[in-house]
């Protein structure tokens, strides 16, 4: 291989390796390990048919980035499984100890969360606080308990917005109109909706707004109760306050914005008539008591955190929380990991499911 090209490829590999290791607190990244990883990746590259001397760095990157990336990932896995030195710290054990500490101190049971997602998010806190390992982070949490709040904020990724995925809300509007008609036919005066994992309230107030509009369009009056729950206490406070930045409400059309929000100092405050419909409460989906007799559960973009076992347990509990014929709405990219017979698929695009009763199975 041409020496100039080899140097180039080595530089690119080194750069990629450093990037890939920048948030890896779950493995040893000492200079000795890094060096072994680099050597292993370069050895893999020698087996590739690399280009001639006149190739530019851009061309090498463009042509070989994918191969180099693959070899770097492989080298990281290999070396971290069998480090070239005695193991100083058992990262798996320390990670487990950190999970146990969080549970003991704050009652948050992360055992059934996706481990890779947790590691990525926790790495951000380690980096931010300049803490080199899980063991040190456990000590740091002991010294600075206020770090728990920051950690939970990072873990919970509570991004949301009003009418998130707008086309889905068009379908939800039909569903609401349908629900109202059923209520009128059966003489049931009340609708109970649960927004599970409600972040800062954008979802439950979207539900309130759409339900109000649906009630207007079919000229019905029903008592509406929306239970909004989350595990993030800062979010729950914000949900009770119900004041939002312009970006959060960008999916709401101007007529509805004027009808249901007050503009104060550049922020959008939800009007009392919607606020009255929503009860904000703390519920940990991994262990808490669930609301009963719900007509609809909206649990969007929350299941992504949980492994399949927990997802299945949750779906069984959601099934019990719903009234017969009640609906469940999940996030756009989420799947229903449960055996047939619990729910039927109503709309695959909007991820809407209907509870099946025992005799419908
Ligand atoms: C990405 S947000 C989704 C917000 C909203 N449902 C939406 O789709 O826009 C996920 C929410 O799930 C909450 N969450 C995570 N784990 C939870 C748990 N064990 N119990 C309750 N809520 C949880 C987070 O705090 C966060 O507010």
| Residue-wise DSSP of 110-160 | -TTB-HHHHHHHHHHHHHHTT--SHHHHHHHHHH-TTHHHHHHHHHHT---
Give me the domain span that covers residue 125: 91-156
Q: Strand 352-355 and strand 261-264: pairing?
A: unpaired
Distance 263 CA to ligand 1 centre (A): 27
Instruction: Please tell me whether residues 133 and 248 are part of one structural domain.
Output: no
* Nearest residue (CA) to ligand 1, atom 11: 197
Q: Could you tell me the pLDDT band of residue 37, with boundaries at 50, 70 and 90?
A: very high
Q: What is the mean pLDDT of the segment spanning 249-267?
A: 96
C-alpha separations of 61 from 37, 100, 180 in Å: 19, 43, 58
Instruction: Please tell me whether residues 56 and 19 are part of one structural domain.
Output: yes
Last residue of a domain, one of 81, 115, 142: 81
Residue 53 pLDDT more than 60? no
Contact 126, 25 (CB under 8 A): yes
Would you say residue 69 lies in a domain? yes
Tens of pLDDT, residue by residue over 66-115, are 888 899 999 999 999 899 998 877 888 999 999 999 988 877 888 888 89
Considering only 36-50, 238-252, 254-268, 340-354, which range has the smallest mean pLDDT? 36-50
Ligand 1 neighbourhood includes 91 CB (under 6 angstroms): no
Last residue of a domain, one of 55, 81, 107: 81
Query: The CATH number of the domain where 323 resides is what?
Result: 3.40.50.150
Last residue of a domain, one of 81, 114, 143: 81
Instruction: Please tell me whether residues 335 and 266 are part of one structural domain.
Output: yes
Cross-strand bridge partners of residue 281:
229
Would you say residue 161 lies in a domain? no
Q: What is the pLDDT of residue 23?
A: 86
Q: What is the mean pLDDT of the segment spanning 313-328?
A: 95
Instruction: Please tell me whether residues 178 and 151 are part of one structural domain.
Output: no
Report the predicted TM-score, pTM, of the whole model to 2 decimal places.
0.78
Residue 63 pLDDT more than 80? no
Instruction: Please tell me whether residues 314 and 216 are part of one structural domain.
Output: yes
Residue 193 pLDDT more than 80? yes
Mutate to test the pocket of ligand 1, among 107, 108, 195, 197 (most ligand atoms within 8 A of CB): 197
Tens of pLDDT, residue by residue over 162-189, are 999 999 999 999 999 999 999 999 999 9
Q: What is the pLDDT of residue 359?
A: 65
Distance 303 CA to ligand 1 centre (A): 8
Question: Distance (Å, rounded) from C-alpha 337 to C-alpha 193?
Answer: 22
Tens of pLDDT, residue by residue over 144-168, are 999 998 898 888 788 899 999 999 9
Number of compact structural domains in the chain? 3
Q: Could you tell me the pLDDT band of residue 50, with boundaries at 50, 70 and 90?
A: low
Instruction: Please tell me whether residues 129 and 263 are part of one structural domain.
Output: no
Ligand 1 neighbourhood includes 199 CB (under 6 angstroms): yes
Mutate to test the pocket of ligand 1, among 106, 231, 304 (most ligand atoms within 8 A of CB): 231
Q: Point out the ligand 1 atom lying closest to the alpha carbon of residue 160.
A: 9
């Amino acid at each position: 291989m041409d020496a100039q090209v080899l140097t180039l490829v080595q530089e690119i590999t080194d750069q990629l390796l450093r990037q890939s290791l920048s948030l890896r607190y779950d493995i040893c990244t000492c200079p000795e390990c890094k060096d072994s990883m680099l050597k292993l990746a370069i050895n893999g590259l020698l087996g590739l048919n690399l280009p001639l001397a006149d190739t530019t760095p851009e061309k090498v990157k463009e042509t070989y980035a994918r191969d180099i990336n693959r070899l770097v990932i492989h080298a990281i896995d290999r070396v971290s499984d069998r480090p070239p030195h005695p193991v100083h710290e058992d990262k798996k054990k320390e990670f487990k100890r950190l999970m146990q500490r969080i549970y003991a101190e704050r009652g948050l049971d992360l055992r059934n969360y996706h481990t890779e997602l947790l590691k990525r998010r926790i790495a951000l806190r380690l980096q931010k606080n300049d803490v080199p390992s899980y063991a040190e982070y456990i000590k740091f949490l002991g010294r600075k308990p206020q770090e728990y709040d920051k950690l939970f904020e990072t873990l919970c990724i509570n991004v949301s917005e009003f009418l998130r995925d707008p086309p889905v809300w068009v379908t939800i509007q039909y569903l609401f109109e349908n629900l109202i008609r059923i209520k009128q036919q059966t003489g049931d005066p009340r609708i109970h909706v649960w927004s599970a994992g409600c972040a800062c309230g954008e979802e439950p107030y979207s539900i309130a707004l759409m339900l109000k509009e649906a009630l207007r369009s079919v000229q019905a009056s029903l008592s509406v109760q929306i239970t909004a729950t989350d595990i993030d206490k800062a979010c729950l406070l914000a949900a009770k306050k119900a004041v939002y930045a312009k970006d959060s409400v960008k999916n709401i059309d101007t007529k509805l914005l004027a009808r249901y929000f007050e503009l104060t100092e550049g922020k959008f405050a939800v009007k009392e008539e919607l606020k009255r419909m929503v009860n904000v409460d703390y519920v940990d989906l991994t262990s808490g008591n669930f609301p009963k007799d719900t007509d609809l559960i909206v649990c969007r973009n929350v299941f992504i955190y949980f492994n399949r076992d927990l997802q299945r347990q949750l779906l069984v509990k959601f099934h019990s929380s719903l009234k017969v014929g009640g609906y469940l709405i999940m996030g756009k990219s989420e799947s229903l990991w449960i055996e047939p017979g619990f729910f039927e698929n109503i709309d695959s695009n909007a991820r809407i499911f209907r509870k099946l009763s025992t005799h419908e199975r």
